[in-house]
Structure 1
Amino acid sequence: MGRGPRGAGRPPRRLLPLLLLLGLARGAAAAPGADDVCATCHEHATCKQRDGKKMCICKYGFVGNGRTQCNDKNECQFGATVVCGNHTSCHNTLGGFYCICLEGYRATNNNKTFIPNDGTFCTDVDECEVSGLCRQGGRCVNTHGSFECYCLDGYLPKSGPEPFHPTRDATSCTEIDCGAPPEVPDGYIIGNYTSRLGSQVRYTCKEGFLSDSEDTVSSCTALGTWESPKLNCQEISCGRPPEVQHAVLVGNPSSSLGSVAHYVCQEGFESPGGKITSVCTEKGTWRESTLMCTEIITEINDVSVFNNTCVRWQVNPGRINSRIVYVIHIKGQRLDPVASVHEETVNLTTASRTPEVCLDLYQGTNYTMSISTAPPTHSVPAVIGFQTAVKQTIGNISIFNETCLRWRSMKTADTEEMYLFHVQGQRWYQKEFVQEMTFNITTSSRAPEMCLDLRAGTNYSVGIQALSSGLPAVISLTTQITEPPLPEVDFFAVNGGPLPHLRLRKATEENGPISSYQVLVLPLALQSTFACDSEGPTSFFSNTSGADGYVTAELLARDVPDDTQISIGDRLYYGRYYNAPLKIGNDYCIILRVTSEWNQVRRSTCAVWAQVKDSSLMLQQMVGAGLGSVAVVIVLAFLSFSAM
């Protein structure tokens, strides 16, 4: 039998790999799920069909091929501002992220966290809507993401910076108190004042001083200090007095305030309106006189005889203050049986508008008198006739024991004489006061005496006329002041309670002019030893003073209306004294002192106004303390003072 070809019945060697691959492909196709791509997707991927094919795609928030890897995507890597918006912080999570607003901001959806896919963003929080953040006296100002504190008007920052934040700074706002206003050399404060913000004290120069500045006010500023007063008081000096035409300056007058320069007209001139003077004024200049010297023309008229041997006449107004030489010629014929003639010429030089002269004439004589002027003046002689009488006179009047008079009678025999008295009293400080008395006494003494019932502090004119005489004698006297009447007060006794308002009634000026009222505060234990005329009690500025007693208020009498109300401890200035509060728990005596001053004499009387035991903080002091903490005429100050 023959053999077939070599290798017959087996496939060729080169087809074996191909057949092997086809077999594997068929086996794979025949295995269950072999064509399901979605089964191979990563756990953070989803299977989607695109263009007829199934694909594995990583979920939102992951990146990778979808089958073997899907890694978390960090959305915050581009920055919180880009991802979440302004004022945020970004926080990455597995497959996502969320946003949080920074401190001081809040999300517009009112949630703590958000994702800005719905338009949510962070807006500023107004912390100032919460009251009291900046504490007492502070003012809150909102800022982006936070807030700042400033002190209100009337307050100053203390112990820290401004602006401040209450959680990090120790700053506190304290009320402004400017304290005592500054002093001005040779000046003083007018009226009352406090030391609160905006308070003002007004200054003026002392008498005899002048300021070149019209700015007389100092204010309590927001810095807690008083403005520096611009008042510059300089002693007034008017320099040399001005010249007056046809007049000569008399003496060498001072150039200080109130000095008066006197002038006299030159020979042949007169000042019809009166004396020519110029006064140094408070403006530092001489006040020019409105009068001038004019050429003399003399008119003599209204010639009259008085006191039997004296003659008085008047000259025209143009002769005032001009010295004139008068020539008086007299010729008399005696009335007694032994006839005799008295003839005489007398010269009189005077500048008076109503000249008068007493002549040595005979009693019981008929006289003819002519009066004319000597050159350089000219006049028409005035002629008068009169008769002298036999009369008694009063001489050598003297004052003793202040209100008593003694005089000498010119009688030739020890016979009784009636004397008529006319007493008139006036007071410059009390225009409505008039005291007038008319009475008579009869005595045969050659040296009579009389004591008058006169009032204190009064100027008197006393006329004494003998009944047998036509000529009264006039003398002036002044009585000294005595202690003023006891002050009229409503006494209060207070034990631990508030002190009522004290009523100040004006004292009557019976014994002299009332110059001032003072309110004094003394420890109660010193009441029995206090002397009314004592100058011991001093001023009191703060309630920390250790003074045993002090003046708490002084009011000039001319500034006091009747029924004035005074509150002890109201922290105001009365005159130059500070009305300080009473110390709590102490016993005090409140005294009202009335002072009279006249002719360099000072007299005082005192009345106990109130006794305060176990003193408490009075209502008006509480109000004063409350207001004082805001702004401690014033002034007083003034005031301030300049001026609480």
Structure 2
Amino acid sequence: MAFLRGLALKANQERRMLVLFLLCASAGIPAAAGLDGCDNCHVHAICVNKSDNSGEVCICKYGFVGNGRTSCQDKNECQIGDMKICGQHTRCYNTYGSYHCTCLPGYSPSNNKASFIPNDGTNCQDIDECSLTGVCGEGGQCRNLDGTFECRCELGYRVHNGREPFNPKQDQASCRVVDCGRPVTADNTELLSITGTTYGSVAAFACDKGFIWAGGDNRSVCGAEGQWRGSPMVCEEVDCGSPPAFPHTRILWNKKSTVGTQVIYQCISGYHNVGKGNVSICDAAGQWEEPHVLCQEVLCGDPPTLPQTGYVWNGSSTHGSTVSYFCKIGFYYSEGENVSLCTVNGSWTKPNILCKEVRCGAPPTIPHSVTLWNEIPTVGSQVIYECKTGYHSVGRRNISLCTATGEWDEATLLCQEIRCRDPIIKPHSKILWDGASRIGSVVFYQCEEGYRSRSLKNYSVCRDNGQWEDIDLWCEEISCGPPLILPHTNLVWDHTSRPGSLVLYECVGGFYQESGNNVSVCALSGEWVEVSMKCRAKCGPVPSLTNAQVVWYNSSVVAHRCVDGYHSWRGTNVSVCVWQEATMRCTKVKPPITHLHVFNEKCVQWRAEKYEEDTESYRIIYKGTRDFQWSFYDMRQQYLKSKAEQLKICLNLLPLTNYNISITALSARFTVTITINTTLPAPPVPVVYYREYDTPEPTLRLRRLASTLDLISSYQVFVLPIEDILVFDCSSHGGLDSTVKNKLSSEYIAAKISLKSVGTEVNFTVGDGHYYGGFYNSPLEKGRNYYIILRAVSHWRTALRSSCALWAKIRGTSYVLRVSSLCAAASVGLCALAIIGGYSFIWYGRNTVELR
């Protein structure tokens, strides 16, 4: 693509000029040239056409240098230095016809591969060794450094066999936990427990038996310096003093009060100990243990209980108190003593009263009933009466209880025989019954003439609840319904379906009665009598279909089939006499996918052969590889559903890639494949900050996109002196070689910046006198005006694409002339200011005189 850009300058400052920029982004250039003809190309060379179409020439392949015919030698890309060819923290390895890079120890490539070529934007990044658990060992703290790391010990750990900081991969140092050893115990103390002897361990102490804690710490902690922390524990001997006194007791004691001394308590006369103990011991805490002694006055307590008896008592349990016993309800006194006395030793005398149980005997009977009871005739037992089957209760009370008098109380139950009323009347039926209405009696039902039963049961039974069983019997009028329809016939019928109704059958036009009877009668069974009539058609010649043949014929039915090379396209394939012609259409067989092609290197289009209204599902699989990047593999797939005949889908294909595209019609199981090689696209226009400068060495800014998929190989800086008319071709490849000069123009290349030297922001100073990519950035001539052009280049094998941007304009006005101009302008300004000031002073003086 080419374009023209004109720039107009001010008339009083610069002469009029027109700058025409021709940017062609799709131009291709050869990498090297040799002699004409390709008869004897070197084994590592290829044959290409010259750019002017004047013939063919042999050029060495990428990675080789030579004349293409007699020599193509391996080019050692690594000889310019590891950092220059591969970037920082790298090592370059030359291979036959190519090279690759690896990262130094402590660094890893950004593409996570063992080797790389840096033109894809890969660089070496520092490895964070501290992200690995335990890299510094137990107790070590890791600190990541550029290309390495270092370790220090945590609190509670010390460096062993070295000093901090240290690297366990290079040194023999490591961190070991601080050990304080076993703690020392103070006088009259003992070590109670210890969690360990390392940093943070805790030791607990206790006083010896007979001593009590008086001061100091009873715990000690192992510190980071390897010493036990805490003041020593102080223990003093225990003294419990005099033992406590309790009511109604006396003490037996040897007058000592040290740990382990015992005191015995005894109740005085008239009392006895009801507590759980009578001994107190001086404990290690300097206290007498509570003896749990309790002396109470002697009492007999509650009187004893006897079976089947109650007693009369005033609540006193002192010596001489009495209790009288009596028999409970349901029992009677038989023999024995019924009085108990409280004795001096605190116990009641045992009475020997005997109470026997009252029994009522067998319960009375009630006519037509049964008794339900547990066969136990004691007081409170009950008997339940229920009427026998066929009888129901008319009394109010059906329970009898055994009373304390030894008799059963009276039950008022009366049982009468159960009888059902007259049976239920069912419509359109008659009853067959012997008149009996006892339980189990049966009534039969029969439908009247002309009706039939629509139930599973035609009888009712008298139930024990005095009701006839309700049945869902109903009598339905007999109806044969509509008569049977026979093929090719009409009916002569009065539309009645009662028993005896008639239907007459006649053949329709075009048919005649071949055999059988043509009359049907409605029978008492509710069905029409079967008709055996058959009507035969009067058929003509067999119909024929386009591109079809007859495969079966039985004089009234014809089956058709498409001939070879054609298939059925909707419709039926059967013709019936009188001929209803088959609707099948036979169309020529075509593949489900035809006319497949790729356009714009992105989209795929094809034609679908199917039924118009059918929806077909398609699976598109595309796989891509690259000749220059063996590890590259792009495989993706998409699905599409459509009823259309013409289909198109656009794919996100990557540049410089060999793609194999397969499209499958899933329902037809048909697959077609097409291949495409995508070309090198034009790089994006460089993002620059355009400015105009008056200085001869301006610093320009370039901003590169963060994406590393822009396929840019390098940047070139062009310096163009401004003339009357200037034409700049962005696609011109003369600037690729630092040895090629443009003799027809005074333009030149000031720098070639490799992609590996470009970050997201780049500053470049024009005319600094340095070399960039083999090009000399010469100082600008004073007094001349320039345009600075930045060109982005994508270069692969013989293909080259480029795009340009106007970066800056530099004015060549000299510094002396600019200072002189400024001084002249300042002088004119001062003169004008002096004239205006004088005129104002004269005007002010005149006005003052007039006022006076």
What is the TM-score normalised by the length of structure 1? 0.31
TM-score, normalization by structure 2 = 0.24
Which has the bigger relative contact order, CA under 8 A and spacing at least 6? 1
Larger radius of gyration: 2
